[in-house]
Amino acid sequence: MPKIALLGDSIRGNYEPHIRKLAGDAADIRSPDENCRFSAYTLFNLAVWIPDDDYDVIHWNNGQWDTCYMPDGKIHTPLSQYLELQKRIADIALKRSKRAIFATTSPVYPEQFEKAERNGRKNEDIVEYNQRATEQLSAMGVEINDLHAALVQDVKTYICDDMVHLSEAGAARCAEQVWEMVGS
């Protein structure tokens, strides 16, 4: 039975219950009880969340927190810092598992930034962060699960009314795609 770690922000929290149903007894799925939040938080907690090196797959996503804007008008995690953090997470994941898979950040409603009361996000930032992380991590041997591409054609169906998180349809869509990658 494969031992799989699922790490990630609230998007992972949206799709994980669906993955557990799809997997049934076919995999030992482990994940933190908490939201893995932003990349620096994930890196900081890896020793607790993946304490040993006998995983078959480590699958993670970070991006929604990293690409949101703070009250000072600046993005939470500047791109260069985000890329460095993803590299460090990948280095650890590659040492502690047979396969490391990075999932791209899901899109938000196009108007999310303008309508957000706080912590708005822009799809153009998400696209740039995804592209740059994908290039960097692929070169390291990390597999890429392009959740963004799976959802971007129908954002209003796959993202719920809060304009950021997955709808039930989006959670089911992501779970199918994640399970297809981690369960193979």
> Domain limits of the chain?
3-182
Q: Compute the CA torsion angle 163, 143, 33, 155 (nearest 10 deg).
A: 10
Pairwise CA distance, residues 96 & 126, whole Å: 28
pLDDT of amino acid 118:
87
Cα–Cα distance, 82 to 67 (Å, whole number): 9
| The pLDDT value given to residue 70 | 96
pLDDT for res 75: 98
Mean per-residue pLDDT, 160-179: 98
pTM, to two decimals: 0.97
* DSSP assigned state of 61: E
Q: Domain 3-182, what architecture?
A: 3-Layer(aba) Sandwich (3.40)
Residue pair 108/123 in contact (Cβ under 8 Å)? The answer is: yes
Express each pLDDT in 48-105 by its tens digit: 999 999 999 999 999 999 999 999 999 999 999 999 999 999 999 999 999 999 999 9
Q: pLDDT band at 184, cuts 50/70/90?
A: confident
Average pLDDT over residues 132-137: 98
Q: CA separation (Å) from 107 to 18, 153, 160?
A: 20, 10, 11
**pLDDT at position 37 over 80:** yes
The pLDDT value recorded for residue 77 is 98
